Chain A
Amino acid sequence: MPASDWKKTDVMNVDQPTLTTAERLYLPQIFGGFKTTLRHMFSVHVRNKKVIQYPEQRRQLRKEIYRGVHRLNRDDQGRVACVACFMCETACPAHCIHIVGEESPWQDREKYPVQFDIDELRCIYCGMCEEACPVDAIELTPEFHLVGRSREEMIFDKEKLLMVYDRTKDEKPRKNPRITGY
């Protein structure tokens, strides 16, 4: 709507509220603030209850929905479950998935990935790839200790992603082991 179409009644001038005497004297407000901070400072039990000493203590993760490092699932016969449909690559908002598909050597599907790279440094861990996958081949795991010494090391290829599956399948079993008989 152009500005000239405004009516006078559309515009409402609101004056700023004024400070009260206590607020203008500062001191009551300041002591109110000290009350809060000192209460936190001396409430040891709150600290003891809330703080997790990380390397020794671990948080209880909700493993079913935690979005950590990706994995590529294996099917019943131990083959990669991916069918190289490019749905995850298309859905990825960070453009961190790179797939090269080829004709499958197996009877039950047309394509399979010869190359499947995820740049874990670019990834924003949104889980859209997991949502998009029609065969539940790509999943996010509760693993979050992601460290590497170089950028190249952080680009996970197919073998590495399958290794993540082998590592985490007991902790978080594959959601729908058999979905299709394509």
Chain B
Amino acid sequence: MALIRAIIKHPILSGLLAVTIGGIVVLTLIVAFLDQIKWVLSDQFWFSNILSLAIFGGIMTAVAYCILLERKISAWIQDRYGPNRVGPLGLLQPLADGVKLLLKEDITPGHVDKALFVLAPFMMFVVALIGFAVVPWGGTFRWPWMDADATPLVAQVASIDIAVIYLLAVGSMGVYGVVLGGWASNNKYAFYGAMRAAAQMISYEIPLGLVVLTAVITVGYLLPVDHAMDCLRLEGAVAAQAPHAASWTMWVVFYHPVAALLMFIAALAEANRAPFDLAEAEQELIGGFHTEYSAMKWAMFFLGEYAHMITSSAFMVCLFWGGYHLPYCTWLSTDESALAMLCRIGVIGAKIAIFIGAYMVVRWSLPRFRFDQLMRLAWKSLVPMGLVILAAQVLIVYYGWPQWISIVVNLGVLVLAAIASLTNAMPISGRQQSLLIKEKAAREKEYELQHAGV
């Protein structure tokens, strides 16, 4: 009795005891219900449900560690160490951040629109999360206990016909959270931030849509004719980029390098990331749309932003960068074992992680655009370039030309942009020529007025 009491009171031993008992209970349950578990995992409906829970957990962890990575990368770029106190190498920092944010006072200012104020962060967060439903994580596979001729499972939460359109729609819903938050805050800085976000989102939807359309058409052209309608499914887009012996290229990015770049820029703007983070703009708008938010509601905005980053990276990886395929790895693409499925999840995860890293390096390298520069970049550069690439791709498909022509078109678009920049000189502040002429005239007029009496 005394021994048991001593163990229960001991902080480490009691924890070990609890873990052991819990582990034994779980193992017993698994062994007892092994057949049922196997059946549930083999059924596509139940497997999708379990996968969605697993992905939710995985994404939440990934988002928390994205925040740590962001702080680490910003520190490294500025010759610092970053958070390194909580746990080994600071790896438990997200936990400490979460506890701190949960325990903070959650202030709702008196002058806000309460319903919308509470709704906005959840809107942003939920919208950023539901995009993961259509991402093809691991392709088709069979569990080891399934028959060799059984219908393989798809490691994807929902395999819908219009995944690309769904992702575009859900991605642009993200701005609702920002606009609602800014409006409900009843604060002019927050409102400025929200309005900027709305205008920015409208502008950058267009190049994003053009580029996505280009990729979809390319994928439809690359797919076998009887599967061409799969081009709007993300797993169809990924399947089109599988390595096969007949072709020396496989990813859409090799056919459309400039389009991939445009998509990256538009995705940065869609996710409200620097250098397009005008909606937040700490220096001018003291945080923009989330000025009035604190504690967990603010954290929801933050998590939503990072979840949105992961969604848009996954979107880019699936459309342009070959999803879970690697060059020359036919085993990875065709094998239908559970191990290959896990490897595929690892590959797509690694590609997404590379994009997240790129997002972060961009954020800590580039200064923020001014609003007119932002608009000019969208309407005068990205939209025309996207249009030319799209038109060229449509012509290629219509006349059945070889796909490599698009590479020439993509590079040609860059050359055209260089030539266009040669023809009209722009002052270093980037202000419009007409405004500068007006200002100069006004200066001279003022001078004349001052000397009129002399």
Asked if A60 is an interface residue, CB under 8 A from chain B, the answer is no
Which residues of B have CB within 8 Å of A3?
A: 450
Q: Mark A29-73, 1 if CB is under 8 A from B, else 0.
A: 010011011101111001100110100000000000000000000
- Give the number of A-B contacts (CB < 8 Å): 73
Asked if A11 is an interface residue, CB under 8 A from chain B, the answer is yes
Nearest chain-A residue to B454 (Cβ)?
A4
B428 lies within 8 A of A16 (CB): yes
Contact residues of A: prevailing secondary structure: helix
A16 lies within 8 A of B366 (CB): no
Asked if A6 is an interface residue, CB under 8 A from chain B, the answer is yes
B425 lies within 8 A of A19 (CB): yes
Asked if B111 is an interface residue, CB under 8 A from chain A, the answer is no
Q: How many Å lie between the Cα of A15 and that of B428 in the bound state?
A: 10
A16 lies within 8 A of B80 (CB): no
Asked if A18 is an interface residue, CB under 8 A from chain B, the answer is yes
Asked if A21 is an interface residue, CB under 8 A from chain B, the answer is yes
Asked if A146 is an interface residue, CB under 8 A from chain B, the answer is no
Nearest chain-B residue to A23 (Cβ)?
B428
Asked if B102 is an interface residue, CB under 8 A from chain A, the answer is no
Asked if A147 is an interface residue, CB under 8 A from chain B, the answer is no
Asked if A13 is an interface residue, CB under 8 A from chain B, the answer is yes
B80 lies within 8 A of A47 (CB): yes
Which residues of A have CB within 8 Å of B29?
A: none
Q: Which residues of A contact B (CB under 8 A)?
A: 3-4, 6, 8, 11, 13, 15-19, 21, 24-26, 30, 33-34, 36-38, 40-43, 46-47, 50-51, 53
Q: Which residues of B contact A (CB under 8 A)?
A: 73, 76-81, 361, 364-366, 377, 414, 417-418, 421-422, 425-431, 436, 440, 443-444, 447, 450-451, 453-454
Other contacts beyond A15-B427, A18-B428: 20, CB < 8 A: A4-B450, A4-B454, A6-B451, A8-B447, A16-B431, A16-B436, A18-B426, A21-B421, A25-B414, A36-B365, A37-B364, A37-B365, A40-B76, A40-B78, A40-B79, A41-B76, A42-B76, A50-B79, A51-B80, A51-B81
